[in-house]
């Protein structure tokens, strides 16, 4: 008999049901019934509450996507699942398919036509579910206790790390992760400093993936010595980190800060940035209706090269290899305004890239690079707004009758007064508005160009100087070129010899 061996762990550090222990138990149980194992269906970091049909390792076998087999083997019934309904459904499906079930906690093959085996299977499934419910209640109680005590319980937000006094102990305190903090602060700075509209959460996610920066999940795996899964950054991930109040160092629950006894959010770590910067990030990352999206490709001229006949954006055309070229594909894509675009212009990528590089460095290469830095200002207005929200929440709770007892009334009045005093003090201070500041870097544009990681980074430099390229299908006259390039402060087209 050919068995598929199923192993599962809720936590990869669970020594009582380690992968090696489960493997030895399964091999021994299968050998006792005269069978052999043809595949291992492993599910690590998978809760017992997960339906076996949806598990990444076991699910495809149960769904018939992995080929023929004679039965399923597991170390125990609870490794198959901890939900009575799911365990019984899995057993019923396999039995109707004529497949066997073997577990190390039962002698021989399970015979569900036998009342004793059927009852034993249901009792083990029920016991597993009772144990699961007890574990879930302990976890809920511990989460509630930690939240009331102002202690972290869930995984840390990106840019932070938990510090334990020794391996396996509870979290002692939270610190800023210097690697993750530098990465996300750079992302925030680039988005806030951008005035071209070409640096967005989506393009930053693409840049981080190109540069091989570990995703938040993989960074946590690095910090705690686990295997990285190779997951990618996404637009949603970048935006969530930038706009979440977790970056202010607050203890979070269900996406919102936990409010302490003083009526203000509980802070468990230093902030990655201040309230004013967060407000600016929310505004900068808000959905905007723009005529064209920011390009996420790696080509130098993606989004800045256009057809001289119909005016549409150029795309990469041709086969892979040395014959790759920029070309206008608008007519073949059925764009109504481009039906007259014959012949469509095209030029080898390396030729046009080199021409634009020479033109750009020849005109701007000796200029000093000025770095745009976002200055959040004093941030008093953002802090006042946050305190106002806290005071409004307290007032709403009071109106709902939460602080009617004498002791609660005294606490409420003290907290409300304290918030009001802090707001009054901040309102009396001089406010410096946020804005962009220009700082010299000491390097030239040519040096910045040579230090850029790839063409996508160089395209950002071109966008800063508003460089645009127009490609024509043929020369426009004697001595003229097929392409025209313009940049910032250019009053006229600057032709380049081919």
Per-residue pLDDT of 259-309, as tens digits, reads 777 777 888 899 999 888 898 899 999 877 655 666 767 889 988 999 999
Q: Same domain for 351 and 479?
A: yes
Phi (first) and psi of residue 74, to 5 degrees? -145, 160
Please report whether residue 147 resides in a domain: no
Please report whether residue 143 resides in a domain: no
Please report whether residue 311 resides in a domain: yes
167's tokens? 């391996």
Q: Which of 248, 496, 173, 478 is nearest to 357 (CA)?
A: 496
Please report whether residue 460 resides in a domain: yes
The arithmetic mean of pLDDT across residues 151-174, rounded, is 83
d(CA 94, CA 444): 70
- Residue 470 CA, chain-centre distance (Å), reads 37
Q: Same domain for 213 and 227?
A: yes
CB atoms within 10 A of CB 110: 21
Task: State the total domains in the chain.
Answer: 4
3-state secondary structure of 91: helix
Model confidence over 206-233: pLDDT tens digits? 999 999 999 999 999 898 888 888 999 9
> Residue holding tokens 């007032």?
395
The arithmetic mean of pLDDT across residues 22-34, rounded, is 93
**Domain end residue (candidates: 239, 264, 294):** 294
Please report whether residue 207 resides in a domain: yes
Q: Are 110 and 125 within 8 A, CB to CB?
A: no
Q: Show the domain range for 418.
A: 378-432
2-9 β-sheet, strand order: 36-44, 2-9, 71-74, 100-103
Q: Same domain for 110 and 254?
A: no
Q: What is the pLDDT of residue 322?
A: 61
Q: What is the pLDDT of residue 290?
A: 59
Q: How far apart are the first and last CA of the chain?
A: 72
Q: What is the pLDDT of residue 438?
A: 82
142's tokens? 């511990």
Q: pTM for this structure?
A: 0.66
Q: Same domain for 217 and 127?
A: no
Q: Same domain for 259 and 383?
A: no
Q: Same domain for 340 and 456?
A: yes
Q: Which of 120, 104, 119 is nearest to 33 (CA)?
A: 104
Q: Same domain for 13 and 118?
A: yes
Q: Same domain for 269 and 382?
A: no
Distances (CA, A) of 74 to 11, 199, 308: 17, 51, 67
Strand partners, 131: none
Would you put residue 376 in left (φ > 0), alpha (ψ -120 to 50) or beta?
Answer: alpha
Q: Same domain for 174 and 62?
A: no
Phi (first) and psi of residue 52, to 5 degrees? -55, -30
Q: Same domain for 253 and 189?
A: yes
Q: Same domain for 285 and 325?
A: no
């Amino acid at each position: 008999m050919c068995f598929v061996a199923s192993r599962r762990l809720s936590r990869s550090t669970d020594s009582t049901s380690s992968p090696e222990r489960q493997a030895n138990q399964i091999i021994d149980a299968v050998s006792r019934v005269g069978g052999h194992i043809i595949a291992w269906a492993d599910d690590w970091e998978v809760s017992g509450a997960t339906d076996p049909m949806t598990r990444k390792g076991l699910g495809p076998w149960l769904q018939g996507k992995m080929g023929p087999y004679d039965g399923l083997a597991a170390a125990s019934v609870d490794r198959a699942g901890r939900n009575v309904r799911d365990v019984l459904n899995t057993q019923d499906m396999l039995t109707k398919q004529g497949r066997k079930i073997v577990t190390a906690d039962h002698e021989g093959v399970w015979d569900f036509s036998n009342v004793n085996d059927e009852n034993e299977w249901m009792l083990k499934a029920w016991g597993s579910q009772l144990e699961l419910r007890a574990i879930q209640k302990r976890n809920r109680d511990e989460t509630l206790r930690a939240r009331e005590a102002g202690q972290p319980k869930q995984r840390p937000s990106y840019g932070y790390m938990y510090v334990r006094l020794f391996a396996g102990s509870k979290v002692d305190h939270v610190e800023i992760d210097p690697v993750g903090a530098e990465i996300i602060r750079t992302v925030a700075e680039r988005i806030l400093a951008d005035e071209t509209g070409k640096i967005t959460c989506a393009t930053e996610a693409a840049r981080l993936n190109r540069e091989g920066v570990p995703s938040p999940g993989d960074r946590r795996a690095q910090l705690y010595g686990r295997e990285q899964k190779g997951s990618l950054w996404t637009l949603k991930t970048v935006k969530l980190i930038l706009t979440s109040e977790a970056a202010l160092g607050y203890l979070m629950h269900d996406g919102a800060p936990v409010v302490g006894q003083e009526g203000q959010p509980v802070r468990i770590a230093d902030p990655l940035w201040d309230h004013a910067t967060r407000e600016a990030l929310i505004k900068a990352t808000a959905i905007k209706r723009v005529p064209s999206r920011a390009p996420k490709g790696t080509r130098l001229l993606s989004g800045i090269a256009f057809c001289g006949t119909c005016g549409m954006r150029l795309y990469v055309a041709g086969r892979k290899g040395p014959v790759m070229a920029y070309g206008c594909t608008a007519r073949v894509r059925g764009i109504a305004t481009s039906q007259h675009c014959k012949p469509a212009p095209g030029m080898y990528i390396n030729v046009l890239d080199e021409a634009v590089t020479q033109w750009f460095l020849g005109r701007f290469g000796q200029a000093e690079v000025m770095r745009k830095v976002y200055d959040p200002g004093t941030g008093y207005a953002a802090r006042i707004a946050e305190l106002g929200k806290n005071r409004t929440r307290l007032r709403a709770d009071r109106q709902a009758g939460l602080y009617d007892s004498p002791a609660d009334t005294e606490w409420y009045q003290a907290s409300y007064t304290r918030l009001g005093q802090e707001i009054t003090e901040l309102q009396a201070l001089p406010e410096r508005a946020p804005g962009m500041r220009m700082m010299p870097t000491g390097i030239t544009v040519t040096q910045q160009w040579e230090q850029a990681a790839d063409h996508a980074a160089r395209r950002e430099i071109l966008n800063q100087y508003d460089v645009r390229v127009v490609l024509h299908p043929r020369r426009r006259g004697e001595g003229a070129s097929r392409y025209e390039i313009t940049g910032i402060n250019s009053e006229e087209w600057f032709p380049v010899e081919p």
